[in-house]
Amino acid sequence: MSTPTHAPDAAAAQPEAAHSDTALATHHLSARKFTIHFLEMVVAMAVGMVALHPVWTLVLDATGATGLMHDPYTGALIMATNMTIAMSAWMRVRGHRWRPIAEMGAAMYVPFLVLFVPLALGLIGEGALMLWGHVLMLPAMAAAMLLRPHEYAHC
């Protein structure tokens, strides 16, 4: 009588497949890690706005271009730049690659760029530009993070 032969375990037969499954499991972005990283980015953005605003004021005053800070278009871009610089620096400290940093940076600018159209058409005012630009940054940041969950799993 012959003894039944058992097929080797699929994971044992393909160790790289088993390793791949393990790697996927370790790159899972938990809600806790997502929230912590998201909040870190918001704090970094606020620090950038507070810390870099005086630098812009000093430079623009020295060059006679103070009006740029008060123009809604350039003012919004300066604010987005302040937030992006601080957030990018923090992301780099946390070990992120340049591509996700650029994607997160885009999340700072795109809401304002989109809102420039209704501002130019007179459909919204300067206050709405700033309010909605900041509000729309949050889902834009979340989308950038959800695009590459493995990038944020180690945070």
Domains in the chain, number: 1
Residue 106 covered by a domain = yes
DSSP category for residue 71? S
Query: Is residue 91 predicted with pLDDT exceeding 60?
Result: yes
What pLDDT does residue 71 have?
Answer: 96
Mean pLDDT of 72-89: 96
What pLDDT does residue 32 have?
Answer: 86
CB 115 within 8 A of CB 129: yes
Residue 14 covered by a domain = no
Radius of gyration over every alpha carbon of the chain, rounded to an integer in angstroms: 23
Residue 3 covered by a domain = no
d(CA 92, CA 115): 29
Question: What pTM was estimated for this model as a whole?
Answer: 0.76
Beta strands in 9-118 (DSSP E): none
What is the secondary structure of 110-150 as a DSSP string?
HHHHHHHHHHHTTSS-HHHHHHHHHHHHHHHHHHHHHH-HH
Residue 20 covered by a domain = no
Q: Tokens representing 16?
A: 């790289």
What is the secondary structure of 60-82 as a DSSP string?
HHHTT-THHHHSHHHHHHHHHHH
What pLDDT does residue 28 have?
Answer: 62
Residue 99 covered by a domain = yes
Chain segment 95-139, per-residue pLDDT in tens: 999 999 999 999 999 999 999 999 999 999 999 999 999 999 999
116 vs 87, 113, 132, 142, CA distance in Å? 23, 5, 11, 22
Amino acid at 97: R
What pLDDT does residue 10 have?
Answer: 43
What pLDDT does residue 7 have?
Answer: 44
Residue 5 covered by a domain = no
Residue 103 covered by a domain = yes
97 dihedral zone (left: phi>0; alpha: psi -120 to 50; beta): beta
Give me the domain span that covers residue 91: 30-152
Query: Is residue 148 predicted with pLDDT exceeding 60?
Result: yes
Task: Assign 150 a pLDDT band (cuts: 50, 70, 90).
Answer: confident
Chain segment 7-60, per-residue pLDDT in tens: 444 444 444 444 444 444 445 668 888 889 899 999 999 999 999 999 999 999
Residue 143 covered by a domain = yes
What pLDDT does residue 27 have?
Answer: 52
